[in-house]
Chain A
Amino acid sequence: MRWIKISLGLAVIGIIGFFTVRELLMDPMYFFELFLGGLTRGSIYALIALGYTMVYGIIQLINFAHGEIYMIGAMTALIVASVLGMWGWNTAVIVILAFVFAIVYSCAYGFTVEKIAYKPLRNAPRLSALISAIGMSLFLQNYVMLAQTPDYLPFKSLIPDFKFWEPFVHIITSVEITIIVTTVIVMILLGLLIKFTRIGKAMRATAQDKVMAALLGINVNNVISATFVVGSATAAIGGVLIACHVGQINFYIGFLAGLKAFIAAVLGGIGSIPGAVLGSLVLGISESYFTGYFYSEYEDVFAFTILVIILIFRPSGILGRHDAQKV
């Protein structure tokens, strides 16, 4: 079994390597464009995947409603920007307020969802919490659909075309570069938060051992809430950025994006923050090449196939810990 796995793995790597080199030599520019496209896509996945991985790390729950939090972030930004735009406010102020509102509201929703649907089930079987999460996801989607509209809404980009970026625009647009740069900044900030702040340390302690953390005087409930809030905030940033990039949103965008980001988180090793980033970039870039060279309509099939392959051959992901079950 071991040898089969290794030889299969080598064969796959060989084939991928061969195609990569061939395509690179045939049309280096197109190859590079796809790479940047994948990087952008991966950055968005990373912003959402963080929420999944942090929540999973702490309460071992797939927060199905996370994609909806991201959608609500984008939706709030759209509403705020449109209202302020019609009132004739200054563009810069609108951009800032739209981001602020998106983040604040996503955090508030994330916080509330946890209190309603997950906190009462903290000691219930995992299946119950998962079903509750699916229910929450369904509810939030339909809530936005009924209160707003089932149709796609055009989303006017909040990010202007930067003057200084003009020379490079044919390679990568200013929206795309903003996405990549923002993601890097968010990652660094998050890394600092988790490494050095009080709440970050509490999060790490809680993720390792909830009971022990509680005995040491950490308020586990607050830590869990904080985790949801932080995850929601990064998801909201991702939501607004992708809306600027794609130019339209509806109530359904959270579902698929959430799913992809979750796949990315699993790919990298769920529970691990660097893993989520790495997994997102791997998924984003490989998806970009797949759609660029093969079939764009089978993009999602590709993502799921990668997920299945990874889970079968390396169930704990690229960077995940392999922990034995406790008996």
Chain B
Amino acid sequence: MAIKNQIKQSLIIAFWFMILTFPIMVIKVNTIQNTIYFRWANLLWVGIVTFFASMVWNYFLRRNEAQKKKEIDDDIPLIHRLLQNDRFRRPFLGLLAAFFIAYPFVFPMYHTSIMISALVYVMLGLGLNIVVGLAGLLDLGYVAFYAVGAYAYALLNLHFGLSFWVVLPMSALLGTLFGVMLGYPVLRLRGDYLAIVTLGFGEIIRIVLENWDDFSNGPRGIADIPPPSFFGHYFDQHNTMIYIYFIVIGLVLMTIFFVNRLENSKIGRAWIALRDDEIACQAMGIDKFKTKLTAFALGATWAAMGGVVFAAKTSYINPMSFTIWESITILCVVVIGGMGSAIGVIAGALVLILLPEYLRAVAEYRMLVFGALQVIVMVFKPDGLIKSVRKVYTFNVQEKTIHEQTHT
């Protein structure tokens, strides 16, 4: 009986969607040549897909309802359990290291280049994860700091001939500075206003870069940005790529290292507390504004460093690389990977950036899928693919000493 009802319901939903999508999916008008196509096949597809999709949707929705009645599950994701297991941990990390070291030598340059992009996103994702995942501040203008880093390198190099290795730490400071400057006025705002205002800041920086010709060379952008040097020595194109690859790997490791330490420190706990309950957090003696500002500024730091690497890798930048869609892509990496979870963010970046690169046929559907995934993840799995796990402390009660068991 239940199944029959379900089918009936799904049929109605499919019918509804067939009507709903009719003008846009079926009719295609060319107002220049005055022709109309009717793509009836699309109608059929919409019907079939929504019929089954609604069944799956309802099934999961019911399952979620049933689960909510029980306790909130504190199952530890598989990957975390494996990493806790010493026998697994070592060989796994060894294999992973071997893979990433061998990667640029085994695969052609094109693949190395793509992997660099993905790793830059890992950095950006981990940085944004501090802001969105840990501190719960929805920052839709994250790309602004990425642009700050990229333009800092391009312009400082152009005008003063500063090298990559000089600009990298400078850009980190510059990113922090910009984070504080932008964060200072806007972080007093309520959460959802913050999203819009940061989005606005992201757009402002892009519009300024586009229109302020004397400063940024406008929409033409800046070309011939030199790659990083190795103690004053430059490699050929192929080796430069490998060199940048290892620089990014280094930066990613550094990011993981620091972010992990921050997460389980006083300040990291304050971020999470702030995300969970602002009022209780303040009542525990935490300065709300200062805590938000540190998260915002630290996030900006990593974005700026990512920008420098990006500029050095592509050797050409223009404002079109720093649109709102870039911010949203980074946000997707964090949200879909798992807010607050470093492993989730890394997995999210690798999957979301690498897959579309290799599945060229579906690349144009990338943003469509990202959008759908955001909704689906929020509805069914708000913790993302790999949810975060809190540190576990063990106590030896007799001796009152503590053995810490650290997890990534």
Contact = CB atoms under 8 A, between A and B. Distances in A.
B331 A80 contact: no
Contact of A308 (B186, B370, B379): B186
Interface stretch (B109-117, B165-173, B190-198, B303-311): B190-198
A303 B373 CA distance: 31
Contact of B378 (A80, A132, A266): A132
Interface string B2-19: 000000000000001101
A78 interface: yes
**Interface of A (DSSP majority class):** helix
B contact patch SS: helix
Given A82-B36, A121-B379, A135-B374, A153 B196 contact: no
A72 interface: yes
B138 interface: yes
A307 B373 contact: no
Contact of B138 (A117, A130, A311): A130
A137 B328 CA distance: 11
A322 B317 CA distance: 45
B367 interface: yes
A267 to B, nearest CB: 12
A262 B196 contact: yes
Contact of A112 (B20, B193, B207): B20
Interface string A118-138: 001100111111111011111
A10 B359 CA distance: 59
B23 A127 contact: no
A86 B203 contact: no
Contacts of A138: 328, 367-368, 370-371, 374
Contacts of B64: 120
B371 A101 contact: no
A91 B201 CA distance: 45
Interface residues of B, number: 59
A300 B379 contact: no
Contacts of B191: 126-127, 130
B374 A83 contact: no
Contacts of B31: 78, 82, 153-156
Contact of A76 (B23, B32, B138, B210): B23
B240 to A, nearest CB: 34
A304 B371 contact: no
Contacts of B328: 134, 138
Interface string B321-352: 00000001001000100000000000000000
Contacts of B367: 138, 141-142
Given A86-B34, A128-B378, A143-B368, A308 B23 contact: no
B368 to A, nearest CB: 4
B91 interface: no
A83 B28 CA distance: 9
Nearest to A144: B24
Interface string A292-315: 000101101101110110011001
B375 interface: yes
B369 to A, nearest CB: 9
Nearest to A117: B375
B189 interface: yes
Contacts of A72: 24
A75 B191 CA distance: 33
Contacts of B185: 308, 312
B199 interface: yes
Interface in B236-282: 279
Interface of A: 60-62, 72, 75-76, 78-80, 82-83, 86, 101, 105, 108-109, 112, 116-117, 120-121, 124-132, 134-144, 146-148, 153-156, 259, 262-263, 266, 295, 297-298, 300-301, 303-305, 307-308, 311-312, 315, 325, 327
10 contacts: A62-B195, A72-B24, A101-B23, A120-B64, A130-B191, A135-B370, A139-B375, A263-B196, A300-B204, A303-B200
9 residue pairs, one from A and one from B, having the closest CB atoms: A135-B374, A139-B371, A138-B371, A304-B200, A142-B368, A132-B378, A82-B29, A135-B375, A120-B379
